[in-house]
């Protein structure tokens, strides 16, 4: 299990990942977390791709924050100002933290040789 805090806009969010994160993501959004993560690295940055990247970023942050905040996804998104999607530094921070969580998960899942 990994925990971290991140400031998004003016608010601090606690994030936690565990095995349940993968299951909860699928139950909440109907898609596979790792399939969606691949959408974060799009080659063609057209408007449709950027919209999907932002959608996936906030879905992941919502799921990681969900153990600490029992609100709906709609309520979660309504807590952000529209300007957040133009805040490059914040979006890069979010992407970096998601990368840390996923890297941590993969390294723990690798079997070790005795």
Residue 105 lies in a domain: yes
Of residues 16 and 1, more confidence is placed in 16
Average pLDDT over the chain reads 83
- pLDDT score for 43: 60
Overall domain count for the chain = 1
* pLDDT grade for 76, boundaries at 50, 70 and 90: very high
Residue 59, in any domain of the structure: yes
Domain encompassing residue 31? 2-109
Q: Please indicate, yes or no, if residue 9 is contained in any of the structural domains.
A: yes
Please report whether residue 114 resides in a domain: no
Q: How far is CA 26 from CA 11, 30, 41, 69, in A?
A: 26, 5, 20, 18
Higher pLDDT, 104 or 4: 4
In this predicted structure, the answer to whether residue 32 has a pLDDT above a threshold of 60 is: yes
Q: Are 39 and 74 in contact (CB under 8 A)?
A: no
Task: Tell me how far CA of residue 114 lies from CA of 79, 91, 105, in angstroms.
Answer: 49, 40, 21
Q: Domain for residue 7, yes or no? A: yes
Tell me the per-residue pLDDT of 87-114, one tens digit each, with 9 for 90 and over.
888 888 888 888 888 776 555 444 444 4
- pTM score: 0.81
């Amino acid at each position: 299990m990994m925990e971290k805090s991140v400031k998004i806009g003016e608010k601090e969010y606690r994030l936690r990942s565990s095995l349940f994160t993968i299951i909860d993501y699928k139950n909440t959004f109907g898609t596979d977390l790792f399939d969606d993560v691949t959408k974060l690295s799009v080659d063609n940055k057209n408007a449709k791709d950027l919209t999907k990247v932002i959608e996936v970023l906030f879905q992941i942050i919502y799921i990681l924050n969900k153990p600490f905040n029992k609100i709906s996804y709609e309520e979660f998104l309504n807590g952000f100002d529209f300007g957040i999607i133009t805040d490059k530094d914040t979006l890069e921070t979010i992407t970096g933290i998601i990368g840390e969580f996923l890297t941590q998960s993969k390294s723990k899942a690798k079997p070790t040789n005795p």
